[in-house]
Amino acid sequence: MTALPVLFVSHGAPTFVLEPGRAGATLTALGRSLPKPAAILVVSAHWETDRPTVSAATQPTTIHDFYGFPPALYQMRYPAPGAPALATRVQAALVAAGIEADIDPRRGLDHGAWVPLTLIWPDADIPVTQLSVQPDAGAAHHYAVGQALAALAEAGVMIVASGSVTHNLREFRMQPEDAGVEPYITEFRDWLRARIEAHDDAAVVAYREQAPHAVRAHPTEEHFLPLHVALGAAADGATHRRIHDSVTFGVIGMDAYLLAAERLPAVAG
């Protein structure tokens, strides 16, 4: 079986699934070009735990973990089967790497998972599970988590890291896509692209000290940490590629990255 690439997506607001814009079109095109995975592991910014935890639910529920949005969102379901065997494998790989990890037998799919999955694999017929983030543990910890899971790609597992390239909700405002973008957002995203495509993982791990406007771009880290898991899992890949760049609400970077993209014969743009 050919190893799969690793994907990082910015999942935006919950309404992303109803108003996908350019970012959603890219994810839909990507889903059509990817080989069908045997299973999917989503690392979502919206599941926070003290230590890595993976869901072993056999039929994950669709969690509507948001308030005040259009009624249509609360009717949406992503009825994919769970992947309990994958959950056990993930836990074992982490423990073998010296990272204590837990299994949650009931956790469903939060919107950091089901929103992008609906756009990429709308048929919901691929077994899927989630892995949590630890916001207080930092980037190096999450990079190590990714390294421990790198072998999953060889088994046909698609790792989908779901967060946001920039995520300062304090400056959120209603703006059309790509309108009224704050200059610091562009500077941070340009720095990140250069570092990722140069395989300068050490700089991305140390982004808090090295990237321009890092703390303003991410006042809290939970939406950026999934990217570090993805980078760790794809550390041996030869080609990392940004496959989408746009900004919504003035400050939410919707960039998506296909890491180890040379594992595919073609890449959606």
pLDDT of residue 105: 96
Break the chain into its structural domains and give their ranges.
Answer: 6-263
Q: What is the share, in percent, of the chain residues with pLDDT greater than 70?
A: 97
DSSP 8-state class, residue 238: S
pLDDT of residue 1: 61
pLDDT of residue 122: 97
Ranking 118-127, 132-141, 163-172 by mean pLDDT, the lowest is 163-172
pLDDT of residue 266: 52
Residue 176's pLDDT band (cuts 50, 70, 90): low
- Cβ(217)–Cβ(176) under 8 Å? no
Q: What is the pLDDT of residues 231-258, one digit of tens each?
A: 999 988 779 999 999 999 889 999 999 9
Q: Is the confidence at residue 169, as pLDDT, over 90?
A: no
* Rounded-to-10 torsion of CA 10, 253, 141, 130: -10
Provide the CATH number for the domain formed by 6-263 in this structure. Answer: 3.40.830.10
Considering the chain, what is the average pLDDT of its residues? 94
Cβ neighbors of 234 (< 8 A, separation 6 or more) are 5, 6, 146, 150, 153, 240, 259, 260
CA gap 102, 83 in Å, rounded: 15
Q: Is the confidence at residue 164, as pLDDT, over 90?
A: yes
Q: Is the confidence at residue 209, as pLDDT, over 50?
A: yes
Q: Is the confidence at residue 226, as pLDDT, over 80?
A: yes
pTM: 0.95
- Report the candidate in 205, 96, 195, 223 with the shortest Cα–Cα distance to residue 140: 205
- Report the candidate in 120, 213, 107 with the shortest Cα–Cα distance to residue 166: 213
Q: Is the confidence at residue 174, as pLDDT, over 80?
A: no
The 3-state DSSP composition of the chain as helix, strand, coil percent (nearest 5) reads 40, 20, 45
- Cβ(246)–Cβ(189) under 8 Å? no
DSSP 8-state class, residue 261: G
pLDDT of residue 188: 97
Ranking 30-39, 129-138, 171-180, 227-236 by mean pLDDT, the lowest is 171-180
Tokens of 127: 């077994």
